[in-house]
Amino acid sequence: MKIAVLPGDGIGPEIVKEAVKVLNALGEKFELEEAPVGGAGYEASGHPLPEATLALAKSADAILFGAVGDWKYDKLERALRPEQAILGLRKHLELFANFRPAICYPQLTGASSLKPEIVSGLDILIVRELNGDIYFGQPRGTREAPDGNFKGAREGFDTMRYAEPEVRRIAHVAFQAAQKRQKKLTSVDKANVLETSQFWKDIMIDVSKEYPEVELSHMYVDNAAMQLVKAPKAFDVVVTGNMFGDILSDEAAMLTGSIGMLPSASLDKNNKGLYEPSHGSAPDIAGKGIANPLATILSAAMMLRYSLGRPEQADRIESAVKKVLEQGYRTADIITPDCKQVGTVEMGDAVIAAL
């Protein structure tokens, strides 16, 4: 089992180190190979996704990714900015299905900004399409407006588009995920305004015929944003396009108290995947030894479950994380009174002790 380890920037190396420590404590034979990515890739070879890093990612069975980005690279041209590495990996490896679970652990309900009764026991899975939509659609750019009220003025434009096979494949992934859970799937769109969304909705309905045991419902994205804070426990699996999923998955993340707890997986059609915490590189706390490594450790658990065929090891890690929370260990981002505050390394050690 070959794992490409791409720590990246900011807190990336600190949290990935803890996840690697946990993987090594499982007693399995992993071949772990590390390479620079993001700002670290740019420093090493002038590009955020160096060729050797991409080659390693392609040859591996799974990729464990930290985070990329730092304010010091904001002045670089867009193609050289650290964040391009993650877009490049998604594109080159055809990682089209993004799984973002939002789970509110009972011990952490106090850390959520919502009332405990609204979030306690929350367990949502957001399935976001990652390869298409307005983030990649062509044409895009700036130009002189060819028509409309502002004809002749400078304008910026992007293109929202989805091809039928793209929608079908994410629909199947989402229905299959719902089959393994509460069998409720909510497809989020903006079909009252957007042609692309109506097309998306029609295909969801068509694919639903193959999954009669899954209850499919539809919700406009503006309503979904409201329902997520009003009654989040009403959701089981949510499937949506790239842009809506980007926004809603961050909203769902905050319901749980801390983005430092949330793992994610981005999978291709063969379940090869890139696993990373849902948060970014947190340059504001990098190097201080206080970052929460649990999202990355839980991402490693998802990797064992989805790409490496070791669900029992995934269960072990997830149980160990629950145990350290029960024992009262907390990093600064999830601290509540009466708990024991620990740093990044101590939290990793606590998970290994619990294993």
Which parts of this chain interact with ligand NAD (CB under 6 A)?
Answer: 11, 15, 67-70, 83, 86, 259-260, 276, 279-285, 291-292, 295, 333
**C-beta of residue 196 within 8 angstroms of C-beta of residue 160:** yes
Is residue 246 among the annotated active site residues? yes
74 in a known ligand binding site? no
- Please indicate if the annotation marks 115 as binding a ligand: no
Q: Is 278 annotated as a binding residue?
A: no
Closer to ligand NAD by Cβ: residue 186 or 344: 344
Exposure of 273 by Cβ count < 10 A (0-12 exposed, 13-18 middle, 19+ buried)? buried
106 is in an annotated binding site: no
Active site residue 222: yes
CA nearest to 223, candidates 195, 251, 199, 261: 251
Q: Contact, 23 vs 303, CB < 8 A?
A: no
CB of 295 to ligand NAD, least distance (A): 6
C-alpha distances in Å from residue 169, one per residue of 9, 125, 136, 200: 32, 17, 17, 12
236 assigned to active site: no
Out of 190, 211, 329, 333, the active site residue is: 190
User: Is residue 190 annotated as part of the catalytic site, yes or no?
Assistant: yes
> Nearer to ligand NAD by C-beta: 11 or 60?
11
| C-alpha 82: how far from chain center | 17
Minimum distance, C-beta of residue 293 to ligand NAD, in the bound complex (Å): 7
Least separation in angstroms between residue 61's CB and ligand NAD is: 21
Do the annotations mark residue 246 as ligand-binding?
yes
Catalytic residue among 61, 158, 246, 268: 246
Residues 251, 253, 254: CA angle, nearest 5 degrees: 70
The active-site residue out of 17, 21, 91, 135 is 135
Q: Is 348 part of any known ligand binding site? A: no
AA letter at 245: G
User: How far is Cα 273 from Cα 275, in angstroms, rounded to an integer?
Assistant: 6
To the query of whether residue 135 is one of the catalytic residues in this protein, the response is yes
Shortest CB 75 distance to ligand NAD, Å: 13
Given the complex with ligand NAD, which of 16 and 86 has the nearer CB atom?
A: 86
Minimum CB–partner distance for residue 286 and ligand NAD (Å):
9
CA atoms within a 13 Å half-sphere pointing along the CA-CB vector of 101: 21
Q: Under a CB-based contact definition with an 8 Å cutoff, are residues 98 and 265 in contact?
A: yes
Residues that constitute the known binding site: 90, 100, 128, 222, 246, 250, 280-292
User: Which residues have a catalytic role annotated?
Assistant: 135, 190, 222, 246, 250
